[in-house]
Structure 1
Amino acid sequence: MDQHGNDQPPNPGQPVPEQPVFQHETPAVTEVVVSQADNVPIIPTQSYPQSYMAVSVFGCLFCIWPIGIYAIIASRNVQSAISRGDITSAGYWSRNATTINIYNYGGGILLILTIITVISTISDIL
Structure 2
Amino acid sequence: MSETASDPPPPYPGTGPGFEQNSTLAVSVGQTNYGFSAPQYPAYIPPPQQHIVRQQHTNIVIAQISGGDNVYRSEPLPVDYTSQAWIACLCCFWPTGLVAIMKATESRDALARGDLTGAHIAAEGARNMIKISLAAGIISLIVLIFIIVVTSAS
TM-score clears 0.5 = yes
Count of residue pairs brought into register by the alignment: 84
CA–CA distance in structure 2, aligned partners of residues 61 and 122 of structure 1: 27
- Please list every run of 5 or more consecutive structure 1 residues that lacks an aligned counterpart in the other structure: 1-42
Contact persistence 1:60–1:69 (CA under 8 A): yes
CA–CA distance in structure 1, aligned partners of residues 131 and 74 of structure 2: 29
CA–CA distance in structure 1, aligned partners of residues 131 and 73 of structure 2: 32
Q: Which residue of 2 aligns with 1:106?
A: 135
Q: Which residue of 1 aligns with 2:102?
A: 73
Q: Which residue of 2 aligns with 1:23?
A: none
CA–CA distance in structure 1, aligned partners of residues 93 and 120 of structure 2: 24
The structure with the largest strand share of the pair is 2
Aligned-residue sequence identity (percent) comes to 27
Alignment deviations for residues 28-76 of structure 1 (CA, whole Å, 9 cap, x no partner): xxxxxxxxxxxxxxx8653211121111000000111111111000000
2:91 paired with 1:62:
yes
The structure with the largest helix share of the pair is 1
Tell me how large the CA RMSD over aligned residues is: 1.6
* TM-score after normalising by structure 1: 0.63
CA–CA distance in structure 1, aligned partners of residues 99 and 77 of structure 2: 21
Query: Quick one: which of 122, 125, 132 aligns to 1:93?
Result: 122
CA–CA distance in structure 2, aligned partners of residues 89 and 45 of structure 1: 16
Q: Which residue of 2 aligns with 1:116?
A: 145
Contact persistence 1:61–1:68 (CA under 8 A): yes
Contact persistence 1:51–1:97 (CA under 8 A): no
Query: What residue identity is the alignment partner of 1:73?
Result: M
Query: Quick one: which of 83, 93, 112 aligns to 1:83?
Result: 112
How many angstroms does 1:100 deviate by?
Answer: 0.6
Which structure carries more relative contact order (alpha carbon 8 Å, separation 6+)?
1
CA–CA distance in structure 1, aligned partners of residues 74 and 127 of structure 2: 24
* TM-score after normalising by structure 2: 0.52
